[in-house]
């Protein structure tokens, strides 16, 4: 059984997994670090860096400010969506590698079970042969 695990561990491209792990972890932490309220505040501050709550003098100026805030929020949401897609893509690639390795393990375990069954029959046959002598 240990030989199967060793063989399976050799099949995993550990260099690729280790190389990709920090970027996946960093992206995941970046996505989970901020709450939606903090993201909205940052988007509003990005749209209006000089004022956190700009004062509007008329309805048109207020509407333009709201449009600018919504555009900033949309741009931020698109950026977060792209980052999420990249993380999901990397995780899917790693999961594919794991599935392939598990498939190899399963095949190896099935072969090992058949060999053990055959060896058991040989041992039983030998024991019967020895008892009859």
The answer on pLDDT for 22 being more than 80 is no
What gap in Å lies between CA 12 and CA 20, rounded to an integer?
Answer: 13
Its pTM surpasses 0.85: no
Q: What is the pLDDT of residues 60-116, one digit of tens each?
A: 888 899 999 999 999 999 998 988 888 888 888 888 888 888 888 889 999 999 999
What gap in Å lies between CA 48 and CA 35, rounded to an integer?
Answer: 20
The answer on pLDDT for 38 being more than 90 is no
Residue from 78, 77, 97 nearest 17 by CA = 97
The whole-number average pLDDT for the span 52-63 is: 70
């Amino acid at each position: 059984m240990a030989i199967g695990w060793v063989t399976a561990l050799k099949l995993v491209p550990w260099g690729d997994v280790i190389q990709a792990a920090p970027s996946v972890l960093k992206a995941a932490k970046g996505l989970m670090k901020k709450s939606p309220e903090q993201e909205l505040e940052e988007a509003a501050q990005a749209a209006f860096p000089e004022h956190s709550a700009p004062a509007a003098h008329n309805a048109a100026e207020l509407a333009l400010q709201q449009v600018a805030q919504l555009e900033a929020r949309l741009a931020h949401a698109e950026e977060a969506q792209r980052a999420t897609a990249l993380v999901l893509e990397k995780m899917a690639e790693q999961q594919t590698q794991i599935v392939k390795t598990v498939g190899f393990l399963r095949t190896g375990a099935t072969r090992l079970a058949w060999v053990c069954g055959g060896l058991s029959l040989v041992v039983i046959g030998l024991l019967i042969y020895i008892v009859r002598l």
